[in-house]
Amino acid sequence: MLSETALKFACSCSRKRVTDTIQLLGKADANDLLDEKGIIEVICDFCNEHYQFDDVDVAQIFALSIVPNGSSNTTH
């Protein structure tokens, strides 16, 4: 029996978790990264899984997370 296999399966990362991380990063910093590289790539330290977010993905993350109360007057 190899315990390494168990360790790999213990990783609980997911695209949802990475999405939360980008939310914590903030919209401004996320957009800075997009400007720099064109894409945000997050690599899990534990299982080495790669998650990629382009400008559309990032826009969706912040569109979903920011719901201002009683703000019906949005300018664009």
Q: Give the residues lining the site for Zn ion (CB under 5 A).
A: 11, 13, 44, 46-47, 49
> Of 65, 66, 23, which is closest to residue 42 (Cα–Cα)?
23
Quote the least distance from Cβ 5 to Zn ion, whole Å.
Answer: 14
Output the smallest distance, CB 71 to Zn ion, in A.
Answer: 36
Nearest distance, CB of residue 69 and Zn ion, angstroms? 35
Rounded to whole angstroms, the Cα distance separating 44 from 60 reads: 22
8 A C-beta contact, residue 58 and residue 22: yes
Residue 18 or residue 61: which is nearer to Zn ion going by CB?
A: 18
